[in-house]
Amino acid sequence: MGAESSISRCLECGSSLRPQATYCSAACRQRGYRRRRSTSPLPAQRLNPMLGRADDLAALNRLITHHALLTVTGPPGVGKTRAVQALVERRQHVAFIDLTTTHSARDVVDAICNSAHLPALRLESLTTALNRNPHLIVLDSPERILSPCVQVARTLLQSCPRVKIVVASRERLGLPQEKTYLLRSLQPDDAARLFTDRTHQLGIDPHAQESPARLRLLCDRLGGLPLALELAARLRRVLSVAEILSSLDTGIALLEGAPRDAPPRHQSLHAAIDWSYRSLSADEKSAVHAIAVMPGGVSRELFGLVQPAMSWQVVQSLAAKSLLTPGRTDDRCRMPASVRAFTTVVLQNTGELAAAIESLRTGLVTMATAADSIDTRTTWHAEQANLFQALTLTPPRTKDWRALASALVRGLVGELGDQLTSRCAARGATTDPTIWQDTRATKVATLIAEGLTNREISARLHVSLRTAEQCVHRLKAELGLRSRAQIAAEVSRLGVGAGGFLRPGRADR
């Protein structure tokens, strides 16, 4: 190793060279030139145009100008590889390395040499060659051999100041000089445009598409993931949008059938997610199984109740691997719909689905019975979707059912109060809108809108008749209204749904 590192080698034939030389002869120089001209550095791409990524590509172009190491991360099927290909396709001296079949640092070095049209070299000699002929190196899908990739990337960055590295990965390398860019799902309009464009390429009249509302629902169900949208578009040759939506209820295995020249992990959404799932540790898989039955996402508190033997760091590790997305706060994450669907199938096949749902129900009941220590205005609002799912799977009129129902109502009423407060503020109300932050007042207002009398309200809320009357009087005084009918009209005008509650199921975003 020491002898090789001290001898310069011809980039074409590997012969020994005098210092500072690149090729041993004019013939090798010409062969190297023809090889570079005749061989594309990028894998073959389909002719489909890339839609909805103009802003992302502009941002990536700015970042690669100022950073030597740029990692593009994102969930399975979001289009990381395609975005990186588009980023580098017009650049010169690009070495694109698909790492799905590599197993060691030696394999990574060999792959770089092959893509850069260099003879087989050791890492030290590779740095010498790249200093003479700098390249932009693309490392695609290094998740399964992260440590060897980190070792090679660190050496190249330290020894080759003019080399740049772009990584397409579901997990960042973790090097100090690394700049990370999170590639998100497509926006609704871009997702619909991508689906329509792909169906048109298959010979389907875009004007014959079904209703825009149904199309947007399909794009939402697919999470705006380009891979899922492209696979679903291929189904339009035999299925309507409504039939595709119905098929999704059976899982995501139906979303397959990509072109045969696509990498195996890109030939179905199931394969794309399975690629990440298989690399998880036992604890990470257990955490994924637990969170998959939580449509509203998972909080630190709920995870501690459902998986008491695990720390929150396991959840953070899954977020770092793009299998979870962070919520509005650091103590909450949610799982993309596609990953939830995949994991649900796994749980069904292993017979663990019922146990996972029971763990969720038990955890929520524990939270509900300890409500005195919980900020109901925030906690139950965030847990609405989870509560609703657990409630539908709990025998009615039982103690657990009542605890879950009470928590769900508290969350819905808290959301209603926030909504009414913001709408009152938007219309410039001169009265104090903080009355809508009073849970009892909000309940009374919604019951008035249902047409209940004061006596019926007192019975429904288990308060005295005098308390109900005082609450109605306060509503009139603080809102500047004169009658119960005006209270009901105000609640209706501000957009309260049937029964005074919002439709359950809004997840933390």
Residue-by-residue pLDDT tens, the chain, 509 positions: 444 333 466 655 666 666 666 667 777 766 665 554 433 455 545 445 678 899 999 999 999 999 999 999 998 889 999 999 999 988 888 999 988 888 888 999 999 998 888 888 889 889 998 988 888 999 998 988 899 999 999 999 999 999 999 999 988 999 999 999 999 999 989 999 999 888 888 787 755 656 788 888 888 888 888 988 888 888 888 888 888 887 776 655 445 554 554 555 555 777 788 888 888 999 999 999 999 999 889 999 899 999 999 999 999 999 988 888 887 767 889 888 888 888 988 998 999 999 999 999 999 888 877 754 444 555 677 788 888 888 888 888 888 888 888 777 776 665 555 555 555 555 554 444 455 556 677 788 888 877 788 888 888 888 888 888 888 888 888 777 888 888 877 776 664 433 333 333 333 33
- Domain 43-182 CATH (choose: 3.30.300.30, 1.20.1730.10, 3.40.50.300, 3.40.47.10): 3.40.50.300
pTM over 0.75, yes/no: no
Q: Confirm whether 43-182 and 406-500 share one CATH topology.
A: no
Residue pair 135/93 in contact by the 8 Å Cβ criterion: yes
Q: Which amino acid is at 214?
A: R
Domain ranges of the chain: 1-39, 43-182, 188-273, 280-369, 406-500
Residue 95 pairs in a beta bridge with: 137
Phi/psi of residue 44, nearest 5 degrees:
-60, 135
* 185: its two tokens: 């799902």
- Cβ-in-10-Å burial (0-12, 13-18, 19+) of 51 comes to middle
Fold adopted by 406-500: Arc Repressor Mutant, subunit A (1.10.10)
Cα(93)–Cα(207) distance, rounded to whole angstroms?
Answer: 43
Q: Would you tell me the crossing angle of helices 465-479 and 454-461 to the nearest 10 degrees?
A: 110
Q: Which CATH number is associated with domain 280-369?
A: 1.10.10.10
Residue 138 pairs in a beta bridge with: 96, 166
Q: What is the dihedral of CA 381, 385, 388, 391, to 10 degrees?
A: -100
